[in-house]
Structure 1
Amino acid sequence: MSSSTRPESAAEVRVLNAVQGTVGARPGVIAAARGMSHFGEHALGWVAIAGVGAVVDPRRRRQWAGVAVGAVGAHAASIVIKRVVRRARPNDPSVQVNVSTPSKLSFPSSHATSTTAAAVLLGRLTGLPLPAVLVPPMLLSRLVLGVHYPTDVLAGSALGAASAAVVLRAEKKFGEK
């Protein structure tokens, strides 16, 4: 463990090493994780999907807008928390960083936050088990890329679920009768 690793994150660095040494060592995994990273940056991929949904499914345009609002709102909440907590990204020489990031702040993962919010809302809209399909790969990708600790992605996912719940309550309260 280097001096840049706080003792409380030593176990998390070991998890990152294990993920990068197993999952991350498989051919194509880092490239796929980078693609997911670019898709999830600032929740833009989720906003694009919501926009397409709103165009092709005008009957449920409000719900598609809710997907965009939920993803962007979750992302915004994660940024506020990042600025309060100010946890630095993994900075251990044993952790390979495989993608650039817009900030040095790590907690919570904004990708995990917006992806979970979008997956919950899209799952509700489509009737598909999208949280189970979309969330784990995004969380794992952040570890493969070496830009988040495991607790960053878990907290981000919890925040995303809470953000989606807020959107669903608002839709129920203010939706068309």
Structure 2
Amino acid sequence: MADTPRGEDAVLVAVQAALAHRPGVLPVATAMSHFGEHSLGWLAVSAAGAVAQPSRRRQWLAVGAGAFTAHAAAVVIKRVVRRPRPHHPAVAINVGTPSKLSFPSAHATSTTAAAMLLSRVTGRRLTVALVAPMLLSRMVLGVHYPTDVATGAVVGAVTAKVVQKAFEHRESRS
């Protein structure tokens, strides 16, 4: 049958079948989507941290710089790769998107970068706790393939490392 989902479409259908019907899942996933849009939620967290802890201001600003840089990197990659978002009839699209391009997930890139840098500034292991739900939410909402979110996480991790090194280098010169 031609309409049977295969490959990554089949994974999305399975994720949605397992989770989307559970109480609260779609509203939480939608809220996470809005929080992560254009990395704005992470920029707000960064700004709040910089205001609340002036002695660690640069570290908090690195969180925002990392999230924004990761988001920008994802946008550039999307424009080069031009992979369309999921569109199989069996995949429910549960949220609007600003673009029809999916690879990589900018939510995954900015969240991974922010989480890694937040882990450094707070001294807590936050990466898995923050990244895994965001990656899963993108699939529950039907707007990204598994490889979109996985690649987004890798791009975000690399971006976080580069931003961290840049901030460390700048501080060592101060």
Fold agreement, TM-score > 0.5: yes
From 4, 19, 23, the equivalent of 1:23 is: 19
Determine the structure 2 residue equivalent to 1:76: 72
Q: Is 1:109 the counterpart of 2:87 in the alignment?
A: no
From 120, 127, 145, the equivalent of 2:123 is: 127
Residue pairs, 1:46-85, within 5 angstroms: 46-85=42-81
In 2: Cα distance, 1:22 partner to 1:67 partner: 33
Q: CA deviation at 1:67?
A: 0.6
Gaps of 5+ in 2: none
Determine the structure 1 residue equivalent to 2:167: 171
**Deviating 4+ runs (over 6 angstroms):** none
Aligned length: 172
Q: CA deviation at 1:32?
A: 0.4
In 2: Cα distance, 1:134 partner to 1:168 partner: 18
Q: CA deviation at 1:123?
A: 0.4
One-letter identity of the residue aligned with 1:26? R
> For 1:148, what is the secondary structure of its paired residue?
coil
Q: Could you tell which deviates more after superposition, 43-52 or 20-29?
A: 20-29
In 1: Cα distance, 2:113 partner to 2:53 partner: 20
In 1: Cα distance, 2:134 partner to 2:42 partner: 13
One-letter identity of the residue aligned with 2:170? F
Determine the structure 1 residue equivalent to 2:10: 14
> For 1:92, what is the secondary structure of its paired residue?
coil
Residue pairs, 1:148-167, within 5 angstroms: 148-167=144-163
Q: Is 1:33 the counterpart of 2:29 in the alignment?
A: yes
Tell me the TM-score normalized by structure 1.
0.94
Q: CA deviation at 1:66?
A: 0.6
Q: CA deviation at 1:168?
A: 1.0
In 2: Cα distance, 1:17 partner to 1:149 partner: 10
One-letter identity of the residue aligned with 1:48? A
| CA RMSD in angstroms, aligned pairs only | 1.3
Q: CA deviation at 1:25?
A: 1.7
Tell me the TM-score normalized by structure 2.
0.96
